[in-house]
Each structure stands twice: as C-alpha cells, then as structure tokens.
Amino acid sequence: MIETLPQRVNGDEALVRRGRFLTTTFLLEVGPTSWMISIFEGRIVSVARGPFVMPSSSFALRAPEEEWRKFWSKRPPPGSNDLMALIKRRVLKAEGDLQIFMANLRYFKEALAKLRAGGAKAGVEA
C-alpha cells in the first residue's frame, strides 16, 4: 500500500504545489517495517522498504502497525484521524528535525491521508 504513495501524492497537483518548497527524506515506521520516503519539491521521488543498515533521514514517524491501520481506514475513529491526534495519544513518535515536519505539517497530513481506503484522488484507484 505504501508503495502507491508516489502515484497518489504526485497525482494531486494542489498537494504538490503545497509542498513545492519541501525537499527531504524521512523515515516512516509501520510497526516493524521501515520505509524511507524521499520528496523533491513536493513530489515523492522514491519509497524504499527497509531494513536499512544506516538510514539517514531528516526525521522519523514511528507508530505501531495497528495505529496506522486505524489512521488509514476509510473512516478513522476519533484520535486516529490526524497525525497530531496520534502524537497527542502518544502512539505516534515524531523524532529528528521536527522543524521540517512542523513547517510542512499540512503537506504531511494530506500526503499520508492519501493512503486511506477509498481516499485516492486524481483518477488513482484505492
């Protein structure tokens, strides 16, 4: 599912425009599985599945697989519907250079929400 992130994000021109000043690589941990996601000027250019020997990323978002499953459900329950709600509940850990994450928070919220069941737009099927 995470492999479809480039098509889902890059197909949404408004979201790409929102992230036009964002170039970074971040680590997304879904339970025991790690993903390195590279973004260049708002477009996701690569998604690589770990394990990684010595990963280098700006920041990391880590949560149990069950919490991501709730977040990516078609209608997430309260407390699982937003990245900040997951952080507030202390099930999502944001670590590293959080300035990049916070300065582009809406981009990351919308980009990761693209993985929700039935949430694909711009002609991309879920």
CATH number of 65's domain: 3.30.1050.10
Residue 8 maps to a domain: yes
Residue 126 maps to a domain: no
Residue 124 maps to a domain: no
Of the candidates 38, 9, 11, 28, the residue with the CA atom closest to the CA atom of residue 92: 28
Model pLDDT for residues 8-42, shown as the tens digit of each residue? 999 999 999 999 999 999 999 999 999 999 999 99
Residue 92 maps to a domain: yes
| Token pair 């099930």: residue | 91
Query: Considering the entire predicted model, what is its pTM?
Result: 0.88
The C-alpha angle with vertex 19 and arms to 8 and 4, in degrees rounded to 5, equals: 15
Residue 40 maps to a domain: yes
Q: Is residue 74 exposed (0-12), middle (13-18) or buried (19+ Cβ within 10 Å)?
A: exposed
Domain span holding position 57: 2-113
Residue 108 maps to a domain: yes
Residue 122 maps to a domain: no
How many domains would you assign to the chain?
Answer: 1
Residue 53 maps to a domain: yes
Model pLDDT for residues 66-110, shown as the tens digit of each residue? 999 999 999 999 999 999 999 999 999 999 999 999 999 999 999
* Whole-angstrom distance, CA of residue 57 vs CA of residue 95: 10
Examine the pLDDT at 123 and tell me if it is beyond 70: no
Model pLDDT for residues 41-57, shown as the tens digit of each residue? 999 999 999 888 888 99
